[in-house]
Amino acid sequence: MRISYNWLREFVDLNVGPQVLADGLNQIGLMVESVEKKDDDTIYEIETYANRPDTLGHLGVAREVATLFGLPLKTIKWPLAELSQPTSDFIDIQILDPQLCPRYCGMVVKGVKVGPSPEWLRKRIEAMGLRPINNVVDISNYVCFSLGQPIHTFDLKKIGGSRIIVRKARKGEAIRTLEGNLLELDPEMLVIADESRPVAIAGVIGGEESGITETTTEVFIESANFNPVSIRITAKKLGLSTDASYRFERGADPNAAPAAATMAASLLCNFGGRVSRGLLDVFPATKKPRTIQLRLNRIAELLGVEIEPEFVVSILSGLGLKLKEQKKNVWTAEIPSFRVDLEREADLIEEVARFYGYDKIPSEVTPVKSFDLPSDKKREKIWLLKEVLFHHGFDEVINFSFADPEKEQIWQSGYKPIRLQNPISSKASILRTNLLPGLLENAVWNFNREAEGVHIFEVGNIYFWGEEGVHCEKLTLGILTTGYRTGQSWQQGKKETDFFVLKGAVEDIFYYLGYDAVSFEPLEDSFFEPEQALKILLKNEIVGKLGLLKKEIARSYDLERPVFCAQLDLAEILQRPARTFSFKPIPKFPGTSRDLSFLVEANISYQQVYHQLQKLTIPYLEGFQIYDRFQGKTLPPDKTSFSVRFFFRHQTRTLQTEEVDRAMLDIISQLKTSLKIQLR
Amino acid sequence: MSTLQERLTQYQQLFSELASRVKEAREIEELRQLFLGRKKGYLTLLFEELKNLSPEEKKTAGKVLNDFKTEIQTRLEELEKQARAEKPARLIEDPTLPGRQLYWGAPHPITIFQREIEKIFISMGFSVEEGPEIETDYYNFEALNFPPHHPARDSWDTLYINEQLLLRTHTSPVQIRVMEKKKPPIRIIIPGKVFRRETPDPTHLPMFYQVEGLVVDKGITFAHLKGTLEYFIKALFGEKIRLRFRPSFFPFTEPSAEVDIECIVCSGKDPQCRICGGSGWKEILGAGMVDPQVFKNVNIDPEKYSGWAFGLGIDRTAMFAFQIPEIRYFYENDLRFLRQFNRK
């Protein structure tokens, strides 16, 4: 809201300059966002709030300023040159929907000479950032920005049957507005109609046909009050926001209507106008003022500072509240109708605090009486998982939760996507069902900007419709690695990433999170190349997958290099109990190791070898580790060679060579049965 | 079978030949085992043959063998000495070459900043809570005292899924979810992703991060809100930073406040400052005392309990702290941007 320093002085004899005034406005929450010098005036752009329609006019701001500086608010007289005929001789006003129009005031001014406004009025209008139009239009704007009460002026002669009917629009009705647009009306919208058609959309905008023109001489002034919700719905539907709708949807003061009509009429008298006798005021249901109890001790309890009762009374009185002391330091406050925001005791305490000054309230430590024990370790586990990935050289990214439905289709994630009703753009019109598209976009972005390799991960939700139309959001981990690895030294040279870089990181996540029961099995999937992917299982339940991304998918993102990626269902993983830690004694006796190289049929995978190695029943066998695997070269084409190192240890003594020799013979014989191995 | 003497001569030749080739300690040890090994050493085996000889022959042969043994031992000791002396054989040719550094992945700057904020509050005894990103109108608005069709909703422009569901526009619905389940005292912060229907520009995006704080107990005052936020801001920006509390409006707090901090770029000295616009102040967070209607909505008696809450944009605060000109940098995920914060 633009506020003019000079205009404020119409309502209060300010004894402070523009800078002190700006500081004062800031203190009471009417934040000055910018200051502009214009001729001899200072114009402030102040921040106003949705619950303070009273600050949308200079009178309201003047009331705040007067209270802050302890000055009286001036009362202005608006004399009228009256005709002898009463208003009702010229116009009939009927409210068919008093819910949506609680009050409607009208006055008629005859003999107005429409023409340019005088300089003082033009300055006021320009101060508001508007262009002066003519005296009648400028006066209605002047009244609006003075009192915060929008008024509308009609050409009386264009109002058919001299009747104003406030009613809902009829099906099929339309109106051409002052802006020249023809708008279709729907039956939920409130209109101002004459005997046959709408002449204005109530509280939003007037009609072109009934508007003021150069030839207008008889002006009908409308100063009414409309239901805020109805105005908001109408304005939203029509995609219109006017100075009038902005004020009405925040809740204009029904008691400001008569004064605004009178002020407008009085000003029109300066241009030859003669006003009909008496205000026509249709006000079917008058409202009693609200009262709120205020206790001085509650102020201290909420603000943490004792405030003098005299200060409380003077501030609230200055703001137009009528205070009656019930008993010592307890008041009943009658709330003026222009303060729609004051409903509870806390609202009054805020008023006291604003004028007391937030800066004067002391700063204290928030006391603690008890601490909550950490409820679950989920957040710590997520951080640990991230640390594992940092350690493996993966950078963290965060992508938008929105996705492009076309791109999403390439993946066939199998989830039914959640569509947004009012997306920012069609390319962001669904929520992602998969983290990998975002990671691929990141890879492309960085390859286009000098990166030679991209190794990234994201922890975030995916979203989809679950069974029975329940919306689901699932915490997910996506990992991608492609191109050269980061941070190679001059000794090693460049190294390209591979599948095992990814798998190692995934295995380490499970290892360090304490999920020992993880296993992998071959996977055929819409994301990956055949036979180049694995599903990740925790106790037989699939919790993720990893592999070499399908070429077609990578190509659709313009990526030519092999892309390895993984996606893990963190929501599922993290809700499972991890291994409980227990200390194991450090071995007292030396262990020993033996290597074994053997051949198996080429179609046997390491996983099958591993399962058989795990099944070995050998005394003192502590563990084993694969250290080589190859095919071809000197081998027959139908064979694979594996080399495994076995570790042996006795807990209470040093092992004898012969014992280990015997164990190795046992291993060989067991593997000959289970895997049909041939020794190399 | 050749005579003992013949084999001895062979072994002596073999030894001197091998000894002239060995260099490393491992090889020397192998050589020792070959000749002097306890079971199969050549010399050990020769000594064993002595028992088959006559006492006369034994005496002469024994001496010869012993001499050879001494010779081997002396030679091996010499070789060991040499091997030890030649240890620094692998010279560092150019120690000015760079070392072998490890690359650690970079946490996203939002993660870094969010963790910093969390740490400060955890040190003050707060717990961290989370909530869903897809919310109902009730939790996002109604329970927080936004009436339907109220213009107050304009500042929280919403992305809707359907009539009931929306993407949360702030982390505040988690306040309601926590207060529904847990009775006071409550002392939590709530970090998370939020969504607004904003057209992207240098300071606005349809998705960003917030952190929310909530304290509910008997006797909580606005002074406590001020004290805690002052501590938080100073812990984040340094002891010397100045703050300003000014009245504002949020439907779910009463009284409400906005907190500005002194512009760390120009301290109010540059009228053209692109961070603060010359005002010297930067709006950083919204706060206030929990509105009594919000308490009623979760069955907490506002006559018995009071509380404070605040909300802060993580992206915007990080932008201010590091003078990042564009909010979209956070979600472009350019590695040249992300990796800078690894060394913050």
Q: How many CB atoms lie within 10 A of CB B276?
A: 22
A-chain CB neighbours of B124 within 8 Å are: 366, 368
Mean pLDDT, to the nearest integer, of A640-652?
95
DSSP-derived pairing of the beta strands A219-225 and A103-110 = antiparallel
For residues A174 and A47, what is the distance between their CA atoms, to the nearest angstrom?
A: 36
Q: Please answer yes or no on whether B105 and A455 come within 8 Å at the CB atom.
A: yes
Angle at alpha carbon of residue A212, lines to A78 and A156, rounded to 5°:
75
Q: Which residue of B has its CA nearest to A354?
A: B247
Our CA-based measurement puts residue B83 at a distance from the nearest CA of chain A, in whole angstroms, of 28
Our CA-based measurement puts residue B270 at a distance from the nearest CA of chain A, in whole angstroms, of 15
Q: Please answer yes or no on whether B224 and A490 come within 8 Å at the CB atom.
A: no
Our CA-based measurement puts residue B273 at a distance from the nearest CA of chain A, in whole angstroms, of 14
Number of domains in chain B: 2
Q: Which of B90, B126, B246, B305 to mutate to test the interface with A (most CBs of A within 10 A)?
A: B246
Q: What is the mean pLDDT of chain A?
A: 94
Q: Are the C-beta atoms of A281 and A164 separated by less than 8 Å?
A: no
DSSP-derived pairing of the beta strands A453-465 and A395-396 = parallel
Instruction: Name the pTM for this structure.
Output: 0.86
Give the model's pLDDT for residue B86.
65
Q: Which residue of A has its CA nearest to B230?
A: A363
For residues A282 and A163, what is the distance between their CA atoms, to the nearest angstrom?
A: 13
For residues A512 and A509, what is the distance between their CA atoms, to the nearest angstrom?
A: 5
Q: Which residue of B has its CA nearest to A454?
A: B335
- Residue B217 covered by a domain: yes
pLDDT at B198 exceeding the cut of 80:
yes
**Domain shared by B211 and B266, yes or no:** yes
User: pLDDT band for position A18 (50/70/90)?
Assistant: very high
Identify which of B104, B130, B160 has the shortest CB distance to residue A422: B160
Q: Which of B 49-88 lie inside 8 A of A, CB atoms?
A: none
B-chain CB neighbours of A52 within 8 Å are: 249
Which three-class secondary structure state does DSSP give residue A576?
coil
- Residue B208 covered by a domain: yes
The answer to whether B140 faces chain A, any CB pair under 8 Å, is no
- Residue B51 covered by a domain: yes
Q: What is the mean pLDDT of chain B?
A: 90
Give the model's pLDDT for residue B27.
84
Task: Indicate the length of chain A as a whole number.
Answer: 680
Mean pLDDT, to the nearest integer, of B258-262?
92
**Domain shared by B129 and B243, yes or no:** yes
pLDDT at B29 exceeding the cut of 90:
no
Which amino acid is residue A474, in one-letter code?
K
User: pLDDT band for position A492 (50/70/90)?
Assistant: confident
pLDDT at A529 exceeding the cut of 90:
yes
B-chain CB neighbours of A388 within 8 Å are: none
Give the model's pLDDT for residue B2.
61
**Domain shared by B135 and B239, yes or no:** yes
The answer to whether B2 faces chain A, any CB pair under 8 Å, is no
Most trustworthy range by pLDDT among A386-400, A576-590, B148-162: A386-400
**Domain shared by B157 and B236, yes or no:** yes
The residue ranking higher by pLDDT, A26 or A492, is A26
**Domain shared by B222 and B76, yes or no:** no
Q: Could you read off the pLDDT of A61-80 as tens digits, one per residue?
A: 999 999 999 999 999 999 99
Q: Could you read off the pLDDT of A535-554 as tens digits, one per residue?
A: 999 988 999 999 999 999 99
**Domain shared by B43 and B123, yes or no:** no
Give the model's pLDDT for residue B1.
46
Q: Which residue of A has its CA nearest to B271?
A: A34
**Domain shared by B39 and B127, yes or no:** no
Mean pLDDT, to the nearest integer, of B122-132?
94
Q: Please answer yes or no on whether B161 and A421 come within 8 Å at the CB atom.
A: yes
The answer to whether B95 faces chain A, any CB pair under 8 Å, is no
Identify which of A364, A389, A400 has the shortest CB distance to residue B331: A400
Q: Please answer yes or no on whether A358 and B151 come within 8 Å at the CB atom.
A: no
pLDDT at A596 exceeding the cut of 60:
yes
Q: Are the C-beta atoms of A111 and A217 separated by less than 8 Å?
A: yes
User: pLDDT band for position B16 (50/70/90)?
Assistant: confident
The first and second tokens of residue B184, run together, are 């006071």
Residue B67: phi and psi, rounded to 5, are -60, -45
B-chain CB neighbours of A494 within 8 Å are: none
**Domain shared by B120 and B215, yes or no:** yes
For residues A486 and A269, what is the distance between their CA atoms, to the nearest angstrom?
A: 82
| Last residue in a domain, options B41, B56, B89 | B89
Which residues are within 8 A (CB) of B131 and not within 5 positions of it... i.e. 6 or more apart? B168, B171, B173, B174, B177, B190, B192
- B74-77 — which CB contacts under 8 Å span 24+ positions? B75/B15, B75/B19, B76/B19, B76/B28, B76/B31, B76/B32
For residues A602 and A36, what is the distance between their CA atoms, to the nearest angstrom?
A: 83
Which amino acid is residue A459, in one-letter code?
V
Q: Could you read off the pLDDT of A100-120 as tens digits, one per residue?
A: 999 999 999 999 999 999 999
CA A88 to chain centre: 51
A-chain CB neighbours of B195 within 8 Å are: 401
Q: Are the C-beta atoms of A547 and A533 separated by less than 8 Å?
A: yes
Give the model's pLDDT for residue B89.
66
Domains and CATH numbers, chain A: 2-69 (3.30.56.10), 82-282 (3.50.40.10), 291-360 (3.30.56.10), 378-574 (3.30.930.10), 592-679 (3.30.70.380)
Q: Give all strands of the β-sheet with A330-334 in edge-to-edge order.
A: A291-295, A330-334, A322-327
Which amino acid is residue A500, in one-letter code?
F
Instruction: List the beta strands (DSSP E) in A253-399.
Output: 274-277, 280-282, 291-295, 322-327, 330-334, 395-396
Q: Please answer yes or no on whether B292 and A26 come within 8 Å at the CB atom.
A: no
Residue A628 burial (C-beta neighbours within 10 Å; 0-12, 13-18, 19+): exposed
**Domain shared by B78 and B139, yes or no:** no
Q: Could you read off the pLDDT of B145-187 as tens digits, one per residue?
A: 998 888 888 777 999 999 899 999 999 999 999 999 999 999 9
Q: Please answer yes or no on whether A446 and B334 come within 8 Å at the CB atom.
A: yes
Global ipTM? 0.90
Our CA-based measurement puts residue A97 at a distance from the nearest CA of chain B, in whole angstroms, of 19
The answer to whether B136 faces chain A, any CB pair under 8 Å, is no
CATH value at residue B132: 3.30.930.10
**Domain shared by B186 and B64, yes or no:** no
Beta bridge partners of A94: A165
Identify which of B207, B215, B293 has the shortest CB distance to residue A401: B207
The answer to whether B310 faces chain A, any CB pair under 8 Å, is no
Q: Could you read off the pLDDT of B264-310 as tens digits, one per residue?
A: 888 778 888 877 777 788 889 999 999 999 999 999 999 999 999 99
Q: Please answer yes or no on whether A359 and B245 come within 8 Å at the CB atom.
A: yes
| Last residue in a domain, options B45, B61, B89 | B89
Q: Which residue of A has its CA nearest to B118?
A: A379
Q: How many CB atoms lie within 10 A of CB A248?
A: 26
Percent of chain A scoring above 70 in pLDDT: 100
- Residue B96 covered by a domain: no
pLDDT at A669 exceeding the cut of 70:
yes
- Residue B83 covered by a domain: yes
Give the model's pLDDT for residue B88.
62
Mean pLDDT, to the nearest integer, of B300-328?
94
Our CA-based measurement puts residue A164 at a distance from the nearest CA of chain B, in whole angstroms, of 28
- Residue B98 covered by a domain: no
Our CA-based measurement puts residue B113 at a distance from the nearest CA of chain A, in whole angstroms, of 14
The residue ranking higher by pLDDT, A377 or B327, is B327
User: pLDDT band for position B56 (50/70/90)?
Assistant: confident
Give per-residue burial for A93-127: e unless 16+ CB within 10 Å, then b. bebeeeebbbbbbbbbbbbbebeebeeebbbbbbb
Give the domain range for residue B15. Answer: 4-89
**Domain shared by B314 and B188, yes or no:** yes
- Residue B251 covered by a domain: yes
The answer to whether B217 faces chain A, any CB pair under 8 Å, is yes
Q: Please answer yes or no on whether A463 and B134 come within 8 Å at the CB atom.
A: yes
| Last residue in a domain, options B36, B57, B89 | B89
**Domain shared by B38 and B148, yes or no:** no
Give the model's pLDDT for residue B62.
84
- Residue B95 covered by a domain: no
Q: Please answer yes or no on whether A365 and B231 come within 8 Å at the CB atom.
A: yes
